[in-house]
Amino acid sequence: NAGVTQTPKFRVLKTGQSMTLLCAQDMNHEYMYWYRQDPGMGLRLIHYSVGEGTTAKGEVPDGYNVSRLKKQNFLLGLESAAPSQTSVYFCASSPHPIQGGLDTQYFGPGTRLTVL
């Protein structure tokens, strides 16, 4: 089991460029999430998904779009990157309560994004 993986690990963009961050999990989890973390702050939820084909907005969704076409993948897109989106991005997944087990989130290693 690889758990939760994120691609890429690092990226530098220029203002206005677009990119997609990929999150993949091999634990058959229903729920997936994208967070951003800025210095001195906790994690803030950008978007989340409660199942394949569904997405919803979190605390800070503006400037981001997401898609969950396959259960194991959750993509985060930046259509026109801005310096304010410089951050570390974490993906996470968790099982549906019906699946049993601990109601906890499993996090990926993060993607460091810099927008110049």
List contacts with another protein (CB under 8 A).
4, 31, 33, 35, 40-45, 48, 50, 56, 58-59, 90, 92, 94, 96-97, 102-110
Q: Which is nearer to another protein, 26 or 103 (CB)?
A: 103
Which of 82, 84, 86, 46 has the alpha carbon at shortest distance from 64? Answer: 46
Rg of the chain over Cα atoms, rounded to whole angstroms, equals: 14
Rounded Cα gap, residues 19 and 16, in angstroms: 10
Least separation in angstroms between residue 80's CB and another protein is 26
When the beta carbons of 4 and 113 are compared against another protein, the nearer one is 4
Q: Which is nearer to another protein, 64 or 90 (CB)?
A: 90
Q: Shortest gap between Cβ of 61 and another protein (angstroms)?
A: 12
Task: Give least dist CB 9 to another protein, A.
Answer: 10
Task: Extract the tokens encoding 74.
Answer: 């959750």
**Distance, CA of 8 to CA of 84 (rounded, Å):** 19
* Shortest Å distance, C-beta 43 to another protein: 4
The Cα–Cα gap between 96 and 106 comes to 13
